[in-house]
């Protein structure tokens, strides 16, 4: 069984790269499917699960309430429950034994025993903002500054989530087998280059 | 003209990868040659030039002497002169117009106008220590701890040198087109995978 995990900066195109990579190699693809499985198992709304796992709901707790604010503890318990369920779902994917690409969710850490090929996908800030602008829903008119704050907030939550369960740093080269910067590439062409690289990794002799 | 620059963690095998990559692609290769050229131009000893550019000579100035210690200012002036000469040599390589691989020396920053393919090469700490042990000269018997301190010191100097002339961070994924972790690879096999990736980069349509 070959597993490729993709961690990525928000707006870098890591998800598109992962999807195309799975198509190119004929692998299964998991991303949003994990959220759906967790939501179903817990009888919760998908959007709530997504926000909670992104750490997005923390921003709604006023900091001035301090640590005594009981809502904080409740949310922390809910989030912990979701993280346990997420681990169960991801381990289930690995148990199925099929070649796959898994985007996000700290799958590289959770599945370390399965020896996945681990990737980090990043991009220049200008390219990330441009990608987010293109993807923005109609009527959503964030300024460039707000967009950059949004990117920083989500990436910070991703780093925190990884560093809760691992000593290795989110986004540092040595934490992954390969890191690619998507800036300057058509994702389609980059996919071919990455697919070849990964194929050589799985065929290596060491 | 195609230029590939390789920045690397000490002990990661980046130099071997660079040399093999140049051989595979039929490119010129520059590493130690740059030190030799600077030393000749300045009428200085090669080892002195190397140490000075690595920032290694700073460690011999006792911190307690403080900023008033005139030796510090003299060494800083000497180092600045060497950095200017290094820039001249590297720009000269680019002016020659031949495809090449340049290892280290912040060539990615100095030659940014030439749009090089920029790589960062890293490895797990265990692998770096092992590599350094294998390469140690006879009679050189550093402990594992001393070896790790040595690696950290050299990499810190490399980071500082880059960050003197660039806003982009040394070793961060987004600062390079591609980052590879050599751990788990035979460098020879990794070279083939990187050569294909780079070839696709230079042939891309965007």
Q: For A117-146, what is each residue's pLDDT tens digit? A: 999 999 999 999 999 888 877 667 788 899
Q: What's residue A53's pLDDT?
A: 81
Q: Residue A204: count other Cβ atoms within 10 Å of its Cβ.
A: 14
User: Which band of pLDDT confidence, cut at 50, 70 and 90, is reported for residue A162?
Assistant: confident
Is there a contact between B18 and B100 (Cβ–Cβ < 8 Å)? no
**If you measure CA to CA, which chain A residue comes closest to B118?**
A181
**If you measure CA to CA, which chain B residue comes closest to A177?**
B181
- Per DSSP, chain A holds a count of helices (H) and strands (E) of 8, 5
Q: What's residue A80's pLDDT?
A: 79
- A64 pLDDT more than 90: no
Of A179, A200, A206, the CB nearest to B178: A179
% of chain A beyond a pLDDT of 70: 89
- A63 pLDDT more than 50: no
% of chain A beyond a pLDDT of 90: 59
Q: Do B171 and A172 touch (CB under 8 A)?
A: yes
Of B125, B173, B189, the CB nearest to A171: B173
Question: CA of A110: how far to CAs of A46, A83, A84, B23, in Å?
Answer: 22, 11, 11, 39
Mean pLDDT of B115-142: 88
Strands B117-122 and B178-181: parallel
Of B171, B194, B204, the CB nearest to A189: B204
Query: What is the ipTM metric for this complex?
Result: 0.86
Q: What's residue A178's pLDDT?
A: 98
- B115 pLDDT more than 80: yes
Task: Using a CB–CB cutoff of 8 Å, tell me whether A172 touches chain B.
Answer: yes
User: d(Cα A193, Cα A186) in Å, to the nearest integer?
Assistant: 11
User: Which band of pLDDT confidence, cut at 50, 70 and 90, is reported for residue B55?
Assistant: low
Mean pLDDT of chain A: 87
Q: What's residue B74's pLDDT?
A: 67
User: d(Cα A185, Cα B7) in Å, to the nearest integer?
Assistant: 21
Mean pLDDT of B166-182: 93
**If you measure CA to CA, which chain A residue comes closest to B183?**
A177
Mean pLDDT of B129-157: 86
User: Which band of pLDDT confidence, cut at 50, 70 and 90, is reported for residue A26?
Assistant: very high
Q: Which H/E stretch holds residue A143?
A: none
User: d(Cα B25, Cα B39) in Å, to the nearest integer?
Assistant: 29
- A69 pLDDT more than 60: no
Residue B182 backbone class (left: φ over 0; alpha: ψ -120 to 50; beta: rest): alpha
Q: Smallest CA–CA separation between A40 and chain B, in Å?
A: 36
Is there a contact between A107 and A116 (Cβ–Cβ < 8 Å)? yes
- B154 pLDDT more than 70: yes
Is there a contact between A144 and A129 (Cβ–Cβ < 8 Å)? yes
Is there a contact between B34 and B50 (Cβ–Cβ < 8 Å)? no
**If you measure CA to CA, which chain A residue comes closest to B121?**
A173
pTM of the model: 0.88
CA B184 to chain centre: 22
| Paired strand residues for B172 | A172
User: d(Cα B79, Cα B164) in Å, to the nearest integer?
Assistant: 13
Q: Which of B124, B120, B127 is nearest to B104 (CA)?
A: B120
- B59 pLDDT more than 50: no
Give per-residue burial for A186-202: e unless 16+ CB within 10 Å, then b.
ebeebbbbbbbbbbbbe
Q: Do A124 and B201 touch (CB under 8 A)?
A: no
Q: Do B174 and A204 touch (CB under 8 A)?
A: no
Q: Which two tokens stand for residue A15?
A: 């998800």
User: Which band of pLDDT confidence, cut at 50, 70 and 90, is reported for residue B42?
Assistant: confident
Q: Do A180 and B180 touch (CB under 8 A)?
A: no
Question: CA of B119: how far to CAs of A128, B5, B103, B181, in Å?
Answer: 20, 6, 10, 11
Contact residues, chain A, for B125 at CB < 8 Å: 174
**If you measure CA to CA, which chain B residue comes closest to A197?**
B193
Q: What's residue B79's pLDDT?
A: 76
**Is the torsion defined by CA of A125, B167, B122, A90 positive or negative?**
negative
Q: Which of A172, A174, A180 is nearest to A196 (CA)?
A: A180
User: Which band of pLDDT confidence, cut at 50, 70 and 90, is reported for residue A70?
Assistant: low
Q: Tell which A residues from 106 to 135 touch B, by Cβ distance under 8 Å.
A: 120, 122-125
């Amino acid at each position: 069984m070959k597993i490729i995990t993709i961690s990525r900066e928000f707006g870098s195109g890591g998800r598109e790269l992962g999807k195309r990579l799975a198509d190119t190699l004929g692998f299964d693809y998991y991303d949003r499917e994990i959220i759906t499985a967790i939501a179903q198992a817990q009888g919760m709304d998908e959007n709530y699960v997504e926000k909670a796992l992104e750490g997005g709901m923390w921003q709604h707790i006023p900091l001035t309430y301090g640590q005594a604010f009981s809502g904080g503890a409740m949310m922390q318990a809910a989030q912990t429950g979701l993280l346990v369920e997420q681990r169960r779902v991801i381990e289930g994917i690995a148990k199925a034994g099929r070649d796959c690409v898994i985007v996000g969710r700290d799958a590289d850490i959770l599945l370390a025993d399965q020896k996945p090929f681990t990737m980090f996908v990043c991009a220049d800030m200008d390219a990330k903002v441009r990608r987010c602008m293109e993807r923005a829903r109609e009527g959503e008119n964030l300024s460039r500054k707000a967009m950059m704050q949004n990117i920083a907030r989500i990436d910070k939550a991703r780093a925190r989530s990884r560093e809760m369960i691992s000593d290795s740093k989110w986004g540092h080269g040595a934490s992954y087998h390969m890191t690619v910067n998507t800036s300057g590439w058509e994702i389609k062409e980059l996919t071919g280059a990455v697919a070849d690289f990964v194929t050589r990794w799985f065929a290596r002799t060491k």
